[in-house]
Structure 1
Amino acid sequence: MRTWLKNNRGFLALLLGMGLLRTAVADWNPVPTGSMRPTILEGDVVLVDRLAYDLKLPLTHVVLARLGEPQRGDVVTFDSPRDGTRLIKRLVALPGDQVELRAGHLLINGQEQGYSDAHEVMEAVQPGVTWPALRAQEHLAGRPHAVQYLGGGGHGRDFGPVTVPAEHYFMMGDNRDNSEDSRFIGSVPREMLIGRATHTLVSADILGDWRPRFERFAAPMQ
């Protein structure tokens, strides 16, 4: 064993370096669910900047230094405050903000966010099954992004108002009727934020024939 370790120390050092890079600097996460449709699709692999907000001790939530401030509209990976599951959602409200939904429309501090370009689509909900959905552009803090609502209504279209606690952030999926987010798991403490998603690295149609979606390769996150 000692001889094997000596002969392979360069390779082991490379693996250790890659592990530290992924746990402290940058990460890539496959997305298996549709809670962020149409922004992120099942089968996308997203690049996450782990230094966007905090420098952490690898493999922990221990913050060593603050490097930046989360902003409304960021797409963020984090550990669920309920059970530790890693999730990816959009940050919609900051500490101290009041959050409310009325008939699916988002209000921040009493101001309804603007909506435009509403149109109907047939949305894939599982392999071989589609469902009518309404998509629109939501103008959150001057950062437009797509959201969608599934036909038949949703159980989270009316919510709040609630005030986001200090050092916490309110997250929502862009697929508003198919997302387990802060409406159900509560606001997310800052130390549980992992990083900001910046790009889709690669993508494959896992609900269909598994073909690569080349148009999504290296696409910036909206």
Structure 2
Amino acid sequence: MSKIKQLWRDNRGIIVFLSLMFVFRSAVADWNDVPTGSMQPTIQIGDRILVNKMAYDLRLPFTTVSLVKRADPQRGDIVIFASEAADDRLVKRVVGVPGDVVAMQHNVLSINGAQLAYNESDQALQAYSATDESSRLLSEQLGGITHTVKLASFATGRDSFAPVRVPQGHYLVLGDNRDNSADSRVIGFVPRNEIVGRASSVLFSLDYDNYYLPRSGRFLAAL
């Protein structure tokens, strides 16, 4: 016991600092690395994205217990969730909220019978696409959010599904890389209590194909 007291006296400052940091990362904000391309071109492999853990709930630190519900995920939100079905932490975009009827035909989404608007991407996005001739980039209008989706130039078997109704307390999520994403088409609807936060910006990014050098253009980039 005396050794513990001595340890506390000698390291009180660092112990308090580390404790507060862990509480902050658990309940307020954290960062999440992205090892796959399922959200390209919005999120690149090697991005470290900022996760706002208070976007939807005020949670008891180090638990999934919600103390105060602050908001619900909306269509277009990029959410981070601890998927029991996938046994992993995933990052996807919310497409359907509880009660929505969602369908997709040849990568064209319809929500509650209304087909989403798609347009060719701007020149900057076309320049990105030029480095990957096997894909096509389109802008997708999802509610009040316009974002870019990446489509394969060949049939993958994931470009269509029949109308489904999103059950209460669940969400339908898709990756922006529509033909290369294990999302609700694979793992099913996402329960509300699995969603831990929302992402809206990149903290920093490492280029895995270039000796893990930082990508200067991705620093604090908005999503």
Question: Which one of 39, 43, 56 corresponds to residue 40 of structure 1?
Answer: 43
1:76 aligns with 2:55: no
Q: How far apart are residue 55 of structure 1 and its match?
A: 1.1
CA distance in 2, matches of 1:24, 1:180: 27
For residue 140 of structure 1, what is the aligned residue in structure 2?
142
1:186 to 185, 188, 191: 188
Task: Pick the aligned partner of 2:70 from 46, 67, 70.
Answer: 67
- The 3-state SS of whatever aligns with 2:16 is helix
> Of residues 93, 96, 99 in structure 1, which corresponds to 2:96?
93
User: Where in structure 1 do 4 or more consecutive aligned residues deviate above 6 Å?
Assistant: none
2:16 aligned partner, one-letter code: A
State the partner residue of 1:171: 173
Aligned residues: 215
Which structure has the highest helix share of the two? 2
Bigger Rg over Cα:
2
Structure 2 residue 27 is the aligned partner of structure 1 residue 10: no
Aligned equivalent of 1:213 = 215
What SS class does the counterpart of residue 14 from structure 2 fall into? helix
Tell me how far apart the structure 2 counterparts of residues 152 and 52 of structure 1 sit (CA, whole Å): 37
Q: Which range moves more in the overlay, 52-61 or 107-116?
A: 52-61
Normalised to the residue count of structure 1, the TM-score between the two structures is 0.92
The answer on whether the counterparts of 1:81 and 1:185 sit within 8 Å (CA) in structure 2 is no
State the shift of 1:122 in Å: 4.8
8 Å contact from structure 1 (residues 81, 189) kept in 2: no
Structure 1: how far apart are the matches of 2:130 and 2:210? 15
- Give, as a single letter, the amino acid of the residue that structure 2 aligns with 1:205: D
Structure 1 runs not aligned, ≥5 long? 124-129
Q: Which amino acid aligns with 1:15?
A: L
* Partner SS state of residue 50, structure 2: strand
Asked whether the 8 Å contact 1:42–1:207 carries over to 2, the reply is: no
Q: 1:136, CA displacement in angstroms? A: 0.5
Which residue is 1:127 aligned to?
Answer: none
Q: 1:172: how far off?
A: 0.4
Residue pair 1:171, 1:182 contacting (<8 A) in 2 also: yes
Q: Give the 3-state SS of the residue equivalent to 1:47 in structure 2.
A: strand
The alpha-carbon deviation at position 73 of structure 1 amounts to 0.4
Q: 1:104: Cα distance to partner?
A: 0.8
Identity of aligned residues (%): 44
Quick one: distance in 2 between partners of 1:114 and 1:81?
A: 33
Question: What is the aligned partner in structure 2 of residue 20 from structure 1?
Answer: 23
Q: Which amino acid aligns with 1:148?
A: K
The aligned residue for residue 200 of structure 2 is 198
Paired letter, 1:183:
R
Q: Which residue of 2 aligns with 1:50?
A: 53
Is 1:111 the equivalent of 2:106?
Answer: no
